[in-house]
């Protein structure tokens, strides 16, 4: 990390984004005092994690779902966590039911699928009913129903006034789940803003035009002062003009079109534009 400073506030889901190697997992480990920064500190409600009494009642975290003894059952894994923080035994069954693992509660974790392991990790994070929750890639291994479930769960927890901090590589999920974003690259803060403001600042909507007369279309739009460029799929893209205006020009010049549609800017596009220069590991395409 390099002078990384930000605050995560209650009442909303805060997404934590960055390319591979940006330092997201390291930052979250520092929040739990698993790694120590050379300078600076992380405070949870004004207190360092290591100084919290019964920390599971204050902070719930999913960093590595597989960090479970494989010979233990789901129930007994959660039971010893509960006992270590004076959490009532009844709470174990509550979180098992919440994450959908009641039917396999007494089965050994070594037989769990990746998705079941994720659900168990989420159950452990929720065990102490904490006001602060940290999730590192919580949708890994979950099927579509599970992804929808965790999305609603995180938004519901935030609606209760809790602080929810979640990292993910799935931009589509962050766009649907998060209200605020922290974006880092190579250990440095790149953005600390709302999702809507982030997209507006780093991506633009455009009009896509599909026509069998691309040359004529380009000439007509250029003459009208509307910038247009060819896209890789053979369509034309126009930035800075509304679809209605382009439709009027199409009608006035009797052009043939198969599509004139507005393509909204996306979180993924904004993220790629901002972080493109900070990617540590980049694959090279091509045939071998």
Q: What pLDDT, in 10s, does the model give residues 149-186?
A: 999 999 999 999 999 999 998 999 999 999 999 999 98
CATH number of the domain encompassing residue 88: 3.40.50.300
pTM for this predicted structure: 0.83
CA–CA separation, 138 vs 118, rounded Å? 7
In a domain, 162, yes or no: yes
Residues 139 and 254 in one domain: no
Cα dist. 136→90, 106, 107, 232, 246 in Å? 27, 26, 25, 35, 44
Look at residues 139, 164, 194 and tell me which one is the last residue of a structural domain. Answer: 194
24-38, pLDDT tens digit by residue?
999 999 999 999 888
> In what helix (H) or strand (E) does residue 26 lie, and over which residues does it extend?
helix 24-31
Q: What's the confidence (pLDDT) of residue 2?
A: 79
Q: Does 5 map to a domain? A: no
Residues 181, 208 within the same domain: no
Check pLDDT > 80 for residue 1. Answer: no
Round to whole Å and give the CA distance between 31 and 181: 17
Give just the sign of the alpha carbon dihedral 209, 211, 215, 217: negative
Q: How many Å apart are CA 17 and CA 181, to the nearest integer? A: 7
Give the DSSP letter of residue 277: G
User: Does 186 share its domain with 208?
Assistant: no
Please report the pLDDT score of residue 221 as a whole number.
95
Point out the domain boundary residue: 176, 194, 212: 194
Question: Are 107 and 156 in a shared domain?
Answer: yes
Domain of residue 121, residue span: 12-194
Residues 149 and 252 grouped into a single domain: no
224-254: per-residue pLDDT in tens? 999 999 998 999 999 878 999 999 999 999 9
- How high is the mean pLDDT of the chain? 92
Across residues 117-132, what is the average pLDDT?
Answer: 96
Does residue 46 have a pLDDT over 70? yes
Domain assignment present for 174: yes
Flag whether 276 is in a domain: no
Are 26 and 136 within one domain?
yes
Q: Do 134 and 43 lie in a common domain?
A: yes
287: its two tokens: 């045939």
Q: Are 195 and 183 in contact (CB under 8 A)?
A: no
- Domain total for the chain? 2
CATH code at 219?
A: 3.30.70.260
SS3 assignment, position 218: helix
Query: Which pLDDT score, from 0 to 100, does residue 140 have?
Result: 86
**Per-residue pLDDT at 287:** 47
Share of residues in the chain with pLDDT > 70 (%): 96
Is residue 256 assigned to a domain?
yes
Q: Is the pLDDT of residue 267 over 90?
A: yes
Domain end, chosen from 173, 194, 215, is at 194
Best CA proximity match to 94, nearest among 107, 111, 82: 82
Q: Per-residue pLDDT for 147 more than 60?
A: yes
Higher pLDDT, 278 or 13: 13
Structure tokens at 41: 């500190």
């Amino acid at each position: 990390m390099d002078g990384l400073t930000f605050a995560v506030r209650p009442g909303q889901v805060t997404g934590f984004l960055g390319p591979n190697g940006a330092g997201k997992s390291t930052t979250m480990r520092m929040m739990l005092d698993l790694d120590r920064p050379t300078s600076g500190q992380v405070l949870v409600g004004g207190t360092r994690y290591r100084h919290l009494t019964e920390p599971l009642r204050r902070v719930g975290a999913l960093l590595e779902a597989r960090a479970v003894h494989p010979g233990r059952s789901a129930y007994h894994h959660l039971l010893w966590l509960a006992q270590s923080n004076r959490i009532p035994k009844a709470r174990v069954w509550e979180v098992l039911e919440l994450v959908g693992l009641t039917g396999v509660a007494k089965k050994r974790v070594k037989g769990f699928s990746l998705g079941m392991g994720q659900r168990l990790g989420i159950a452990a994070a929720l065990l102490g009913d904490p006001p602060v929750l940290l999730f590192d890639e919580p949708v890994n291994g979950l099927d579509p129903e599970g992804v929808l479930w965790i999305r609603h769960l995180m938004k519901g927890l935030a609606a209760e006034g809790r602080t929810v901090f979640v990292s993910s590589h799935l931009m589509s999920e962050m766009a649907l789940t998060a209200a605020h974003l922290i974006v880092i690259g190579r250990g440095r803060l790149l953005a600390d803003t709302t999702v809507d403001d982030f997209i507006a600042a780093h991506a633009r909507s455009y009009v896509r035009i599909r026509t069998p007369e691309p040359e004529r279309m380009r000439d007509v739009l250029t003459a009208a002062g509307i910038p247009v460029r060819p896209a890789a799929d053979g369509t034309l893209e126009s930035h800075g003009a509304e679809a209605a205006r382009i439709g009027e020009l199409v009608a006035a010049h009797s052009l043939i079109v198969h599509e004139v549609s507005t393509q909204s800017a996306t979180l993924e596009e904004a993220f790629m534009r901002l972080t493109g220069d900070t990617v540590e590991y980049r694959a090279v395409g091509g045939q071998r």
